[in-house]
Amino acid sequence: RPSLGHKACGIPNFASKGYVFRDGSCFDCVEPVPLLKEGWRRLVQIVEQAAAGTDHIRIDIFVTPGGNLVVNEANISFLKISKFPPQLIEEMRKRWL
C-alpha cells in the first residue's frame, strides 16, 4: 500500500528487489541489476557526488525503463530504524571499510 505522500504525487507502490553494493554485487536480489557496466559506473559516480561529506546517508535512485538515472531522494538513515533484514546489516558491517 503506498504512503499518502506517494499516492498524492502519483508515485507507484514499490517493494525492494534486493540491495546492490558499490562493487555491483547484490544481496537478496530477485533479478539482475538493470544497468550495463557503464551505467553502473555512472550511478556510483552520482551517488558518491551526492553523498560527499556525509557520514551515513541513503540515496534513492530510480532507473527508468529507458535506462536513465533519476535521483529521487537523499535522506539521513539510521540502521536501527532502517528495517533492513539482519543479514543485510551484517553484510553492510563486513563491507564498511
Over residues 58-77, the mean pLDDT reads: 80
The DSSP annotation for 8-24 comes to HHTPPP-----EE-TTS
Count CB neighbours of 31 within 10 A: 8
Q: Is the pLDDT of residue 78 over 50?
A: yes
* DSSP helix, strand, coil percent of the chain (3-state; round to 5): 35, 20, 45
Q: Is the pLDDT of residue 2 over 90?
A: no
Strand residues in 37-83 grouped as ranges (E): 57-63, 69-76
Give tens-digit pLDDT for 3-46. 666 666 666 666 778 888 888 888 888 888 888 889 999 999 99
Of 1-15, 55-69, 80-94, minimum mean pLDDT range: 1-15
